[in-house]
Every structure is written in structure tokens, then in C-alpha cells.
Amino acid sequence: MPEAAAAPDWLREGFKHLWLPYTQMQTAPTPLPVVRAEGAKLFLADGTVLVDGIASWWTQAHGYNHPHIRAAVAAQLEKLPHVMLGGLANEPAMVLATRLAKLAPGDLDHVFFCESGSVSVEVAMKMAIQYWINRGIRGRTRFVSFRHGYHGDTMACMSVCDPDEGMHGHFKGYLPEQIVVPLPRDAAGEAAFAALLAQRGGEIAGIIVEPLVQGAGGMKFHEPASLSFLRRVSEAQGHLLILDEIMTGFGRLGTMFASEQAGIVPDIMTLSKALSGGTLPLSAAIARRHVFGAFLSDRPDTALMHGPTYMGNPLACAAANASLDLFEREPRLQQVAAIEAHLRERLAPCRALKGVVDVRVKGAIGVVELDRAGEGVWLRPHFLERGVWVRPFGNIVYLAPPFVVSQDELAQLTGAIVDVLQIWSRERA
Ligand code: PLP
């Protein structure tokens, strides 16, 4: 296992200056120096090879360094690495917008590009608020979101995350106050939710939800029926529904978009992560025709006032177009189905372990929920000893590997989880 002493100079020097995400820097172990990645494998500076169980925060649909994406980015780099999207057009962005409009369900036809998932959620929220203003309706500025939801770390995004689970407790009172409620899962929940919308409808700009899997807020699953209900009730009461498919989009749950499993079309959809095949930062907020239509008029002030500097970056869009080629040409969704079957079978033994409260699998996501949080520090070295990169958070140990992971690599990942949790259960649970 690589130690700080064996770390290359660039890591020792850089670590004095780099501020890591979600990390107490006083006690943070030195991060692992990755010098190369291929498929589902990470290669470290000292020659160690790790199988990546979480696909760099769920971005690597086709595996690292896919030759088709690499070639597309390299070709684009020769011609036009970047040009602003304000008043100037580039081919990869236009082609990508056209392809996304075709691919996205229903009449989700209007694509606004950004660079990160959080910013696309911010844009979706701005679209929803201004949709009502442009229609001459005042006071609809609040969002309904759900317990265990996670939508990003910027200010507006934090406001729609679970206020307790969402890592943003310090900012309570500073963030806009939204309406955060349990996700309706049964008749009583549905009735309560419909009543809430009827009661507070005049304040509500939109309803935002991660479809089928709430990720960073606890890897909680729900059924397509919950989504169908949200679509039905929001439509019946005239509310905008925003689906945050940043984690679930592009095959992670076995369909290109999770919304397909409920057969619904949201009013706005956000995408990122696997959008660029995990190569470059890129996100999109995609609106239906009627949402886009509310911004059209003779007046400049009904335009959407947002414009990230690097929006529609040609390199990122070329990567995304190449990623879509791969979804068309290669059996990604079948690979997800095979990963799902493997995870179901091989993670099942964890159910019997003391300290494990749940094991659940949806698409290419396998979750083992522990009865306590904060075990990551103990678990991490045990996973590394077994040659896998697994990053538990809260009380969740999970796998979300690249879709091209081989059977052997997958067996190494699930084997490591079962093995390490058996030891954990004996020694600590
Ligand atoms: N929405 C969801 C569902 C996410 O899972 C994430 C990131 O994990 C985000 C939004 C934020 O995306 P980013 O980290 O690119 O800002």
C-alpha cells in the first residue's frame, strides 16, 4: 500500500497547498497518487493497481481513457479547444444539443450547457422561478424537495438538499428556506403530499427530485410509482417537476435515463457526470418546449440571465458526443444488467453480518448500509490492501463501477466488500 514516504515530490509539495473536498485537512491521509487510468483500473505512482469501485464519483460509464473519447478530444484540441458561446457557435456543442434533444424523453428539447452538476441545478431552479415571473405570476419562489435528497454544494443547491443528511448543516438560516418533505411512497404519503401542494401551491416554483436513487444523501431507492405520482400530481396542480438525473442519467440504473422506468417526462432535467463519458467537466439543464416558450418575447428582460464562461466548451462537448457514440455502438445497458445481477448475488452475504442493516442493488449501484456512520477511516486501508478503491460515506459502503468493469474486477470488488465487512462485523459491530 502506498505510504506518504513513498509519495512523489509533486504530491508531497502539492499536498501542502491543495484543499481537498469534504476533508478535515488536519487529519487527512495523503491522497493516493494516480498516474494513469484505463478501463476500471487506477495505476498509482509506486506501481500499485486498484480496481475503481465508484467510477470517480459515477462519471466513468465507458471506463477511464476510452480510445474513442480520447481521439475525439484530441482531434477537437487541434482545431478549437474553446470559444465563448455568447454570440459564437461551435460544432460539437450544436451537435450535442441536437443529440441530447433527440435522446431526452418527450419534448425536452432545449439544452442549456454549464460546467458542473451543481450549476446545472442552479440554472434549472432559475428557469423555474423565472418561468412564473415571465408568465406574470408573482410569489412562486420556493422549491419542494425531499429528505435524503442531494443536488450539489452551491448555495441554491444546498437549500434543496436534505438539511440534516446533506452535509450542509452549518448553513441553515443562511440558505433560502425550501419545503423539504419525505418522498411519497404509499397512499398516505401521496395524500399528504397532494395536500401540501394544494395548500402552498402559490409559493411553489418547482419540485425537484433525484429519480429512483437518491445518491449522496444516503443511497436511498424508491420505486417508479413514486415518480409517476409526482408527475401526475404536479401536472394536475400545475407545478414544474425537475428531475436531477446527474447521477442516474446515462445508463447507471439500466435505462439511459431513470425517468424512462416511470414513463414520465419532467419539465426540466439536469445532467452531468457521465455526460462527457467522465472525461471533462460538463453539465446541462434541459427544458421542455413550454418552459422554453415562457422565455420568448419581444422584451430582453424575459431572457434567461445566466451564462457560465466555459459553457458549451468544444472539448467537453466533443467528449460527450463521443460518449453518446459509445452508448449507441456498445452494449452498455446490457453490461449494467450483468453488473446488477452480479451485485445482487455477491453482496447478499453481507445481509447476515452483525452491524449491517440493509443490502440493496439498483442497476449498477450496490449498497451495504451499516448501523453506524464514520467507519470509513477504519475500512479504507482494508479495501486498499485488497486492491480496490471504495470510498464509504456516512453509514454507506457502496459500489458504482464503470460499466466496462470485467467479471474478474467485479468479483474483486464484491469479494473485498464481503471480506472486509466480515472482519469489520467481527471486530467492531
Ligand atoms: N446532483 C446530483 C444528483 C449529484 O449526485 C451531484 C453530485 O454528486 C450533483 C447534483 C452536483 O454535481 P457537481 O458535483 O458536479 O456539482
Is residue 213 in contact with ligand 1, taking CB distance under 6 Å?
A: no
**Relative to the CA of 152, which ligand 1 atom is closest?**
11
Residue nearest to atom 2 of ligand 1 (CA): 151
Residue nearest to atom 9 of ligand 1 (CA): 152
CATH code that applies to domain 9-65+334-361+382-391+404-428: 3.90.1150.10
Is residue 145 in contact with ligand 1, taking CB distance under 6 Å?
A: no
Count CB neighbours of 298 within 10 A.
5
Instruction: Report CA Rg, the chain.
Output: 22
Q: Which of 114, 143, 247, 393 to mutate to test the pocket of ligand 1 (most atoms within 8 A of CB)?
A: 247
**Relative to the CA of 245, which ligand 1 atom is closest?**
3
Model pTM above 0.95: yes
Is residue 284 in contact with ligand 1, taking CB distance under 6 Å?
A: no
What are the b/e assignments for 117-129, b being 16+ CB within 10 Å? bbbbbbbbbbbbb
Most distant CA atoms of the chain, gap in Å: 69
Classified as helix, coil or strand, 381 is helix
- Specify the pLDDT at position 323: 98
Is residue 148 in contact with ligand 1, taking CB distance under 6 Å?
A: no
Alpha carbon of 152 to ligand 1 centroid (Å): 5
Q: What contacts 160, CB < 8 A, 6 or more positions away? A: 121, 125, 143, 145, 149, 151, 178, 180, 208
Residue nearest to atom 12 of ligand 1 (CA): 117
Is residue 242 in contact with ligand 1, taking CB distance under 6 Å?
A: no
Task: Tell me the domain boundaries of the chain.
Answer: 9-65+334-361+382-391+404-428, 67-329
**Hey, CA dihedral for 287, 293, 296, 302, is it positive or negative?**
negative
CA distance 61 to 70: 14
Count CB neighbours of 42 within 10 A.
20
Is residue 219 in contact with ligand 1, taking CB distance under 6 Å?
A: no
Alpha carbon of 123 to ligand 1 centroid (Å): 13
Residues of the chain with pLDDT under 50: 1-5
Residue nearest to atom 10 of ligand 1 (CA): 151
- Specify the pLDDT at position 164: 81
**Relative to the CA of 157, which ligand 1 atom is closest?**
10
- Specify the pLDDT at position 166: 60
Is residue 118 in contact with ligand 1, taking CB distance under 6 Å?
A: yes
Is residue 272 in contact with ligand 1, taking CB distance under 6 Å?
A: yes
Is residue 281 in contact with ligand 1, taking CB distance under 6 Å?
A: no
| Helices 407-428, 376-385: crossing angle, 10 deg rounding | 140
Residue nearest to atom 15 of ligand 1 (CA): 117
- Specify the pLDDT at position 5: 47
Alpha carbon of 118 to ligand 1 centroid (Å): 6
Alpha carbon of 317 to ligand 1 centroid (Å): 19
**Relative to the CA of 244, which ligand 1 atom is closest?**
3
CATH code that applies to domain 67-329: 3.40.640.10
CA distance 123 to 139: 19
Catalytic residue numbers read: 22, 150, 244, 273
Q: Single out the residue of 389, 419, 377, 383 nearest to residue 50, CA to CA.
A: 389
**Relative to the CA of 118, which ligand 1 atom is closest?**
16
Alpha carbon of 333 to ligand 1 centroid (Å): 22
